[in-house]
Structure 1
Amino acid sequence: MGAGRIVLWRHARTAYNASARLQGQIDIPLDAVGRWQARTAAARLLGRHEPTRVVSSDLTRARETAAALASAAELDVVLDERLRERAFGEWEGLSGEEIAERWPAEYALWRGGGEPERVGAEMRAAVAARMAEGVAAHVATLERTDTLVVVSHGAALSSVVAELLDLPAASRAFAGMLNAHWAELVAARNDVRPAWRLVGYNVGPSDVSTDWNAGPDRAGDVDPDTETRDPD
């Protein structure tokens, strides 16, 4: 029958996220804020859902994010390389400014929604296809009452959300998900298209990206003489 709900969860923050570098398939871990984001988001996710299975990209940042949830839910993490981030070829590890300086035409094409073919980047349609194949394989082994959590990456998740909703792979209808936030889809009733319905997007502990990327509050962050308190 297949799972009735999919939660598509983006990994938490890395040092490359913090410095606005294009990660692609470079394998780097979460930074300190990212580890906090993963724990915080996992607790929020568990407050909304009871995962049946947690599957993850095999890249470290996704595995570490998935582990925060799986540990709390007493589940194992199933790794699947089909859930990796989109490969960006020669651009991986570079900032937008560096890419624009070295490949001005290709960068302008990419920012306009095109495909930077000559730098070795993976095509959006290819990313959508492998992601959808991976998700479908895991969905098929579960029941209608089950929830599948898929831990992956920003560009890959945007592509597979479009694919699951029968939208073009190049669709720019979805904003990028914040680190450690997720999309929720439920299976449609009967044999209709699209087979999935989007019921939540960019869901997570915080809707304010600047606060979310600042990390946890610490005792030294607040001046007790200037702190504003709610009235008793």
Structure 2
Amino acid sequence: MTAGTVVLLRHGRTAYNATLRLQGQIDIPLDEVGRWQAEQGAVALSASHRAARVVSSDLERASDTAAAYADQVGVPVETDPRLRERSFGVWEGLTSEEIAERWPAEHGEWRRGGEPAGVGAETKADVAERMAGAVREHAEALSSDECLVVVSHGAAISLAITGLLELDATAWRGISGMHNVHWSHLHRSAPGAVPGWRLVAHNVGAGYPLDRWRAGPHADLEPEPKSA
């Protein structure tokens, strides 16, 4: 047996997200906006997908996002280090500009979709393999009418989808990045069908305008009234 539906949920915002720093596997917590996103996203996601099982990356930003959703549906959070973000080696914690200044050739290769050599970054193929393998394993514990929610990270989720669709993770770049606390869901294909999973929806959120979602609950985004 295997779950009929898998939902892949990205974690909420962190201070590194807000300052455009490459996080990788640095264990950084949610910031205030990220905690609000996790709460709002949990309510919205639980209205459409009620998981029988919730499995999260063991990094704090993901496991805390998972806990907000799990509280809504009344199941515990399990953690699995295979669901961590892609490791970016010595680039972790740096901005794109800082990386480009110190490693211009490798940065250029990365921006073109290639693999940056010599910086300790995990390959896309390796991430796709560990992510898709973990998702399949956790899904196999459920029945066809049940839903698995997996809470992970932006690059890792894109590569998980690529792997589950049985595409070339090294060369294929057809999945856009996800916003914080947005999700994708896949349905299990009919027995014997290729690929074994079908992407039904991608980068779905709680329904807020994106500028409000990024700014958080206390931002005043209404235009100032004009004077008479």
Band the TM-score falls in, shorter-chain normalisation = over 0.9
Is the counterpart of residue 181 in structure 1 residue 182 in structure 2? yes
Is the counterpart of residue 8 in structure 1 residue 11 in structure 2? no
| Cα distance, 1:43 vs structure 2 | 0.4
Which residue identity is paired with 1:154? G
CA deviations 1:34-76 (Å, max 9, x no partner) are 0000000010001111111100000000011000001121110
CA–CA separation in structure 1 for the residues paired with 2:208 and 2:90: 33
C-alpha change, 1:83 and 1:223, in structure 2 (3 Å) is closer
CA–CA separation in structure 2 for the residues paired with 1:49 and 1:107: 39
CA–CA separation in structure 2 for the residues paired with 1:223 and 1:69: 29
Alignment of 1:40-119 (within 5 A): 40-119=40-119
CA–CA separation in structure 2 for the residues paired with 1:84 and 1:168: 20
Alignment of 1:114-133 (within 5 A): 114-133=114-133
TM (normalized to structure 2)? 0.95
Is the counterpart of residue 226 in structure 1 residue 222 in structure 2? no
| Cα distance, 1:137 vs structure 2 | 1.1
CA–CA separation in structure 1 for the residues paired with 2:155 and 2:79: 18
Is the counterpart of residue 211 in structure 1 residue 212 in structure 2? yes
CA contact (8 A) 2:212 2:221 kept: no
C-alpha change, 1:125 and 1:226, in structure 2 (3 Å) is same
**Between Structure 1 and Structure 2, how many residues are aligned?**
225
CA–CA separation in structure 1 for the residues paired with 2:218 and 2:6: 31
CA–CA separation in structure 1 for the residues paired with 2:120 and 2:159: 18
- SS in structure 2 of the partner of residue 75 of structure 1: coil
Instruction: Name the structure 2 match of 1:26.
Output: 26
| Cα distance, 1:190 vs structure 2 | 2.4
Is the counterpart of residue 157 in structure 1 residue 157 in structure 2? yes
Which residue identity is paired with 1:226? P
- SS in structure 1 of the partner of residue 149 of structure 2: strand
Segments of structure 2 that go 5 or more residues without pairing to the other structure are none
| Cα distance, 1:210 vs structure 2 | 2.3
- SS in structure 1 of the partner of residue 107 of structure 2: helix
| Cα distance, 1:117 vs structure 2 | 2.0
CA deviations 1:174-200 (Å, max 9, x no partner) are 110000001110001121100111110
Instruction: Name the structure 2 match of 1:191.
Output: 192
